[in-house]
Amino acid sequence: MIFIKNLYEDYKDDIFYYLVSITHDSKLSEDLTSETFLAAIKSISKYKGKSDIKTWLFSIARYKWYEHLRKQKQEVSFDELFENYIEECDDLENRFYKKEMARRCLDILAKESERSADIVKMRINGFSYYEIAKKHGISENSAIVIDFRTKKKVRQILEKEGHYE
C-alpha cells in the first residue's frame, strides 16, 4: 500500500501536466490522471520493469486519453496523434518544428514495409503490443522489436538530415 501511495505522490503532477499538454483541459486531465493511477494499480503485476515506471505511467495516461476520445467519438487527426507520440513541446516555434518533423516522419514511414509502418501507426493510435501482435499474427516481443527498429530507423534518417543529434 505504501508503494502505491508513493507512486501516486511521486508521479501525479507529471502525469497531470502531461495530460494537460495533450488534452488542453485541466478538468479532464484530473479525471484522466485518476483513471491512469487506477489502471496502473490494477495492472502493477504486469509491469515488467523493461522501461522506467514513469514511461509506463505516461503510456497508460496516453492510452486513457485515446480511450476517452473513442468514447466521446471525437475525431483526432493522425498527425496530432503522431506529434504526441514523438515528444511534447512548449512554445509555438517548437510546435511548428514538431509538426514538420511529424510530416517528415510519416514520409519516411511510408517507405517502410506495410507491416512495420502499420505497427508504428497502431502504437501511435494507442494500441497495445498485444493487440498489434494479434492483428499481425506475431508475438508481442516481435511487435515491440519491429516498433523499436522502425522508430530507430526513422531517427537515424532524421539524424542524417540534421534534425536529431
CATH architecture assigned to 78-160: Orthogonal Bundle (1.10)
Alpha helices per DSSP H over 43-139: 53-72, 78-86, 92-110, 114-124, 129-136
Distance from C-alpha of 8 to C-alpha of 1, rounded to nearest angstrom:
11
pLDDT of 114: 93
The pLDDT of residue 98:
66
Taking only the tens place, the pLDDT of each residue in 70-126 is: 777 655 555 566 665 555 444 555 666 666 777 788 889 899 999 999 998 888 777
Q: Where are the domains of the chain?
A: 2-72, 78-160
Give the model's pLDDT for residue 30. 93
Handedness of CA 125, 128, 134, 138 (dihedral sign): positive
> Same topology for domains 2-72 and 78-160, yes or no?
no
| pLDDT value of position 81 | 61
> Residue 148 pLDDT > 60, yes or no?
yes
Supply the pLDDT for residue 22: 80
Fold for domain 2-72?
Answer: Rna Polymerase Sigma Factor; Chain: A (1.10.1740)
pLDDT number for residue 115: 94
Q: pTM of the prediction?
A: 0.48
pLDDT tens column, 6-60: 888 888 998 998 888 888 888 998 999 999 999 988 888 777 777 788 888 888 8
Residues contacting 76, CB < 8 A, separation 6+ = 69
- Other C-beta atoms closer than 10 Å to the C-beta of 46 total 8
Letter for the amino acid at 74? Answer: Q
Q: What is the 3-state secondary structure (H, E, C) of 143-155?
A: HHHHHHHHHHHHH
> What type of residue sits at position 37?
F
Quote the CA–CA distance of 26 and 39 in Å, as a whole number. Answer: 20
CA 107 to chain centre: 19
